Structure formats: C-alpha cells, structure tokens
Amino acid sequence: MATPQTTELNVFDPAADGTAALKSMTAIREFESRLPGYSREGLIRGSTHPSVGMEAIAVGVSHSLRATDSIASNHRGHAHCLAKGADAGRTLAEILGRRDGYCGGKGGSMHIGVKELGILGTNGIVGAGIGLATGAALAAQQQNSGDVAVAYFGDGASNQGVLAESFNLAAIWKLPVIFVCENNHFAQSATLEEMVAQPELRRRGEAYGVPSYDVDGMDVEAVANVTAEAVERARRGLGPTFIVADTYRYLGHMADDTEIYRTREQVEAWKDRDPIAKLAAKLVDHGTLTQEDVDAIAAEAEAAVDAAEAFAKASPFPDISQAFTQVSEDHR
C-alpha cells in the first residue's frame, strides 16, 4: 500500500458523523453479502459483482456529495448507488430484473441509473464511467450549477485510455470532477503488479497536473476527509482531483469465482482491517456507542434488507409489451 497523503480538511467528525456512516456501511454489507445467494438461487440472470469489504469508499465519498452531484459507477457499483441515496428495495428489484426496479428491470446489476439522484449508471464496460463523469462535470461547469461529478473505477480500468484523455481535458478545463480509483489489487484475477509497470497509480494523475492522493480505502474517515477537500476544490472552480483508495474485496470477482488467484491467508489479513469493525470499535472506545448499539445497528440492517428482498421478490417481471419502451425510434 502506498503511503496516504494528509489533507487539510477534517470534515468527518466520528462523534457527529460516525453513527450514520456505520449504519450506511452495515446496511450495504448486509445487502451485498446476500447477492451470491441470489445468484445460486437463479434469481439473478447474468453476473453480479459484490463489493463486500469496500464499503468505506462509497460511504466516505458520498459524505460530501449533494443530491444534484453526479456519480458514474462501474460493474461493482451497488454500494455507490446505495450510499448516494438509492432505495435498497428498488435497487435489488433492478438487480433481479423486476418491474419495480429503477430501470424497470431492463438494466440489471450492471446498468442501474437513477436520474433524480444523479446516478448516471453502473456500467458493464470497463472504464466507461470515467468519460461520463467528465462529461457531467463539463455540463455542470457550463451551467454554473456548482455541482461536481465523481467517476468510480477500479485498478484494472486505470489502464483504459479514456482515463488519460479525461485527466488531460479535466485539468485543462478545470472541470469539477473527482476520479476515484478503488484499488482492490485485482483486475478480475490479474494482480496490479502484473498489469502495470508503475504500481503507484497516483502518479498517473500527477503526470497530467491533477492533484492526486493515496488514501486508506478501509477507513471511512480518511476517505471522507480527502474527498471533502477534492469536492471543495471542484466547487471553487479549481479543477479535478484523483483519489486512489487502497481496498480489498472479500468475495470473488463474481458468483462462482474459483478465487485460485489468491490465498485464504491474504483474504483474512485484509479482514483484520475491516472498515466496519474498525469504525464500530472506535465509536465504542470513544463512548459514542455501546456494543449493544452496534448490535442493534446490525439487526436494523438485516431487517431493512429483509424488507428490500421481500419487495424485490414480490415485484413482477416486466411485461413483453414494455420491451421497446424507453428506446429511441432510431434504435428499434
């Protein structure tokens, strides 16, 4: 892991903000942990990619965002949507391909978009969200809205040419965009070291004149603070920021992943840095919460996902008559 840089802003107060962050991360963990089971039951058609272990990034980044700010996500994007305010029931309904999902069941796991929340979409095309977020930032700049855009992508997507192009344009035009690389150390099964000659990904942003930071992606407070500085710069018209968040996914790349590319010992070592356990322990140590409060938050998250699951499973599949709705006449 690269050495995290320090930031000047400390907007995340564990006493004031820690409980809400813990609730959000715990709910996302419960939601994401159930996805492999839905796949085994045949409830999910196609691939789905859980982000168990990576919750601190979505929650930490969203801490400084407002409803009108935009995010563009990737194939592992449910947490980003939920942290931005998406309803768990409608999100799961979309993942299951049901009519009450955000896209009427047509998008599925990798194509969830929520216009009213600024969610430009999860995306099955590696790196595609980078260009979308850069475009959204250009629109915000031209409209003088004061909004920012966030591009979420993984270490594998950092090799896509669109990142270099977007860095360059965003730096030249001082676009209000934050590039967030969730470096979980594997592009599906290939290690970062196998894929890049210079593993310090931060340097790629620096080469284009983009202020770039390494941050501990297993620490929601650290992520929130570095993002707050990036958002503040963007809203002031000072341009983009690149954040490389060091993290790890506990589950396989997707359902039925053999995971032969890593060891159980490596997974367990990363679990010792678990972002939820870390924050919970800090809040208990500081007297903000009791262990009973932490247990109650976990039970609340389980009940909330139970309700989301019931809603999604009860939602019907889209009718065949809707197959060509919301599609341009030119593309029928």
DSSP string, 25-82: HHHHHHHHHTHHHHHHTT-S-S-----TT-HHHHHHHHTT--TTSEEE--SS-HHHHH
Q: What is the mean pLDDT of the chain?
A: 94
Say what the pLDDT of residue 2 is.
58
| Helix-, strand-, coil-residue percentages of the chain, each rounded to 5 | 50, 10, 40
**Per-residue tokens: 176:** 């209000």
Residue 188: pLDDT band with limits 50, 70, 90:
confident
Burial class for 3, CB neighbours closer than 10 Å (0-12, 13-18, 19+):
exposed
CA dihedral 318, 320, 324, 325 (to 10 degrees): -50
> Is the pLDDT reported for residue 331 higher than 50?
no
Which whole number is the average pLDDT over 17-22?
97
> Is the pLDDT reported for residue 330 higher than 60?
no
Which whole number is the average pLDDT over 3-13?
68
Which residue type does 106 have?
A: K
Which DSSP symbol is given to 17? H
Token pair 């260009």 in the structure block, residue: 131
Say what the pLDDT of residue 332 is.
46
Say what the pLDDT of residue 1 is.
55
- The helix or strand, by DSSP H or E, that contains position 300, with its residue range, turns out to be helix 291-314
Which residue type does 139 have?
A: A
> Is the pLDDT reported for residue 123 higher than 90?
yes
